[in-house]
Amino acid sequence: HKKSKSTVTQIDKIRVSSELKRIRTELKRLTSLFQKTWKMELYRLLLFISCILSSYGRLNPNRFPDDFFFGTATASYQIEGAWNLSDNFFIIFIITYKYGSNGDIACDSYHKYEEDVALIKNMGVQFYRFSLSWSRILPTGFDYKINPDGIRYYNDLINLLIKNDIVPLVTLFHWDTPQPLEDLGGFANELMAEWFEDYARVVFENFGDRVRHWLTFNEPRQICLEGYGGDGKAPGYESSGIGDYLCAHNLIRAHARAYHLYDQEFRPLQNGNISITLDAVWSEPITNSTFDKEAAERVLEFQFAWFADPIFSPNGDYPDVMKKLVAERSQKEGFRRSRLPEFTGKEVEYIKGTSDFFGLNHYTTVVTKDAPDTPIGGKPSSLKDSQTVYSQDPSWPSGTSSWLKVIPWGFTRILVWIKNRYGDIPIHITENGFSDHGEIDDQGRINYYKLYLSALLDAIYDHKVNVKMYTAWSLLDNFEWRDGYV
């Protein structure tokens, strides 16, 4: 059947008009997509430029306040050595260290503590942060058997520091659980809170007459996330999304018991202060979208406020978003209840406010993007629970540790975040530092300290953050856990 020429022309016009509309619609879509992509790429470019410039930027010209203190730090297993003296049962690390290295000798500070103190004195710093070995003091982990040689060693160290006008800042636990207690589940066992309180009592009774500044735990996130949720730290249980939450729950309870013990029984006579030290990276959104900004905040809540909120927030307890998301994902995974344990109302009140200052370890920054469609299945994890993905740009300046990117403005931002969330509590920087290859002319480390101290001054003067002390990590080139001495 043949159509007339006019009919064909009319049909062609309709087709052309329809096609033009489709093309215009597609052009609008592509233009919108280009604008969004351009904005995201521009944001990433500006973020990259900011990271690079911050490594060569201006330094804050202000001086630190007159009442500001500087110090340096170590940890018992990383420096002491003397593993086979006086029935000392360190935790058996089930992860493999590089080249078979371990902390059996380390820096041999057990025998060379006088040299350590001389080095600290020569540096001219005001305090020395070190940790006690639970197993060196209580070989079985329990307080029925106290090792007099362990008490003697720490007494000698403390007395020599005081003699040299160096203030001791003492950490009760820096990752070296007595093996007999780990055999019973370690921090997965709720009785660990009682055993830690017993250990703290022995410590306060023996050293509290001279030590005025205490930390209960160093970096509980590392202990729980890497040790009970993964195999990056001892004991390496790899129970992600369950063991890490259980560890944190019992560790926070242990901290609170030690705090109340000191506050009620020892502070009236010894007049010291006590807190906990938490580690935090700064989390920057990878784009300026609302979703990525909220994701960056969730990283801070899941990895930092996880421990900080129960202790430092006005209402106590875990962050609301954490409780909500873990419960929702647990249900989808088939669990009968949330994998995140719950504090009772009485426990929330008991834990809240158990701090005299805010201890902070900070080294670096990450960028975060929203990941709302993480598939259900496989092993649970806190990262899946948080619905985020975070990373670092390999082109960012870094130390020999690939994760240690030099982003000083992240230091300022985490300090401001703490002030905004927890108020004007005094903040003690208990670790900050840089890894290199051991060169004497360590310009990379010098540059890192200049930039991060300048960022600290920005926080103090531009944002009125109440920072009182700074600790350089570390006094000695020590045993670096899974990385050994490499």
Peptide linkage before 235 cis (omega within 30 of 0):
yes
Q: Are 127 and 168 in contact (CB under 8 A)?
A: yes
Q: Give me the catalytic one of 182, 226, 301, 431.
A: 431
Residue type for position 284: E
DSSP state of 301: I
Cα distances (Å, whole numbers) of residue 205 to 130, 193, 271, 422, 483: 18, 18, 13, 32, 36
| Phi and psi at residue 68, to the nearest 5° | -90, 140
Q: Are 121 and 160 in contact (CB under 8 A)?
A: no
* Alpha carbon 165 to its chain's center: 30
* Angle between helical axes of 192-207 and 243-261 (0-180°, round to 10): 40
| Distance (Å, whole) CA 431 – CA 221 | 15
Closest CA to 169 of 140, 229, 212: 212
Q: Are 407 and 396 in contact (CB under 8 A)?
A: yes
Strand 427-431 versus strand 388-391 pairing type: unpaired
Q: Give me the catalytic one of 219, 226, 297, 301.
A: 219
Residue found by looking up tokens 């992240």 in the block = 410
**How crowded is residue 371: how many other Cβ atoms within 10 Å of its Cβ?**
16
Q: Are 386 and 422 in contact (CB under 8 A)?
A: no
Cα distances (Å, whole numbers) of residue 4 to 9, 10, 15, 296: 9, 10, 17, 65
* Alpha carbon 114 to its chain's center: 31
CA distance between the termini of the chain? 86
Query: Is 431 one of the annotated active-site residues of the chain?
Result: yes
**How crowded is residue 209: how many other Cβ atoms within 10 Å of its Cβ?**
13
| Distance (Å, whole) CA 24 – CA 279 | 53
| Phi and psi at residue 278, to the nearest 5° | -115, 145
Residues 6+ apart with CB under 8 A from 308: 278, 358, 418, 421, 422
Q: Are 74 and 119 in contact (CB under 8 A)?
A: no
- Just list the catalytic residues: 219, 431
